[in-house]
Amino acid sequence: MVAQVVMPQVGITTTEAKIIQWLKKVGEKVTKGEPLFEVETDKATMEVEAPADGFLVRIDVGDGATAEVGRVVALIADSPDADISSVSPASKVEKALAGQGEGTKAEKEPDAKVGEKEPAKAGRDKFRITPLARRIAKEAGLSNEELANIKGSGAGGIINKADVLSYLEGKKAAQPPAEARRPASAQAPRPVAKEEGDQVVELTRMRRAIAQRMCQSVLEAPQFWLGVNVKVDRLLEFRDRVNQLLPKEERITVTDMIVRACALALRAYPQVNATFTEEGILLKGRVNVGIAVAIDEGLIVPVVKDADKKALREIAAARRELVKRAREGVLSADELTGGTFTVSNLGMLGIDEFKAILNPPEAGILAVGQTQSALALIDGRVEEYKFVALRLTLDHRVVDGALGARFLSEVRRLLEEPYLLV
């Protein structure tokens, strides 16, 4: 048996990745689940695991080379002497895009497989298309009618990536210049005069991706903000009491408790745990909370999966491991994808409050400031209390103000009554 190793899909926006190094040599034995090679994407540097037990019998994409998502980059066989001559080095895995990660609808449709015909429908020709070409076409908004008019250059007339890109280029040439179609806020940056002493820092893949995603976020999603100040005296007391009973390396943090509160509130208000799509609002079945982590290269958001089903100690353990792996640059594809909501805490950097930009395609992100002190008149006495400013950003296409207010009030209730987090 021969298993194909493919370049994985890391998030819905990643189309290619660079192989930094192979961790195994041809002929070496590999075990399913062990790190096989390291890749660099627009999101992070991470390890890709072996999909099967066996021997690494061929490497098609070497160190330093870039491969598109879904491409076969290596082969694993039962024996180091297995016959692999029938597997073309340039081949793609028919089901690579249909079975990797969260993916899009087009990636998961059976009719997206190479070599299959579209089901016959009235008024439309049959055609064949590769998974990657179908995904590119879907992202570009091409209809099946348009695809049916593209002449495939692949084997047997199949439409491939080059065919779709060529069609899009022709379509683009017939349209007005891009600058004329862009809103003012989306115009390309104007040239800036350089003076002596200025220095241009080349954009890294991550910084370029951050720029593109943040522009996409503010241009596509009508965002609005809600805010509350949460009294945290009980929360801090609860944290300290719990931590007295735990080893130092297992102690919980305010961030852990906020993630837990958000996860429970998302389960109570599933309309916030959602994504806007052309077909309608997609309510996500799992509650996966991303935690924004600052690293040298920029910002990365690893994901605590099924956070609503995890106890505080489990969330704390998951957060510690994710942050450690993020800063070591070894996060896996699964650890970076599938988020349904994000928490961004800048309190440890001395920030009182801030407003965050949505992390698409999520509908909400919670910005957390540092613990502050204030005075209040309580029963005729002036008393000091501690609070944290929470600022919630929401996608108005998915969530209205009243729903957002109820969600944020539930988060505040859980944090001000911390024993509800147990």
Determine the Cα–Cα distance for residues 324 and 330; give it in Å rounded to an integer.
9
The candidate with the shortest Cα–Cα distance to 96, out of 116, 118, 77, 72, is 72
Determine the Cα–Cα distance for residues 180 and 310; give it in Å rounded to an integer.
50
Q: What is the DSSP secondary structure assignment for residue 191, as one 8-state letter? A: P
Do 303 and 332 meet the contact criterion of CB atoms below 8 Å apart?
A: no
Other beta carbons within 10 angstroms of residue 155's beta carbon come to 10
Determine the Cα–Cα distance for residues 245 and 335; give it in Å rounded to an integer.
29
**First-to-final CA distance of the chain:** 48
Q: What is the CA radius of gyration of the chain?
A: 25
Annotated active-site residue 308? The verdict is no
Q: Which two tokens stand for residue 422?
A: 């147990």
Phi, psi for 360 (deg, rounded to 5): -60, 145
Q: Which two tokens stand for residue 144?
A: 């099946």
Determine the Cα–Cα distance for residues 233 and 186; give it in Å rounded to an integer.
44
Contacts of 171 by beta carbon, 8 Å cutoff, 6+ apart: none
The separation between CA 154 and the C-alpha centre of its own chain, rounded to angstroms, equals 32
Do 70 and 136 meet the contact criterion of CB atoms below 8 Å apart?
A: no
Determine the Cα–Cα distance for residues 213 and 343; give it in Å rounded to an integer.
17
Annotated active-site residue 396? The verdict is yes
Determine the Cα–Cα distance for residues 134 and 116; give it in Å rounded to an integer.
13
Determine the Cα–Cα distance for residues 378 and 395; give it in Å rounded to an integer.
37
Within 232-283, strands assigned E span 274-277, 280-283
Do 253 and 316 meet the contact criterion of CB atoms below 8 Å apart?
A: yes
Active site residues: 396, 400
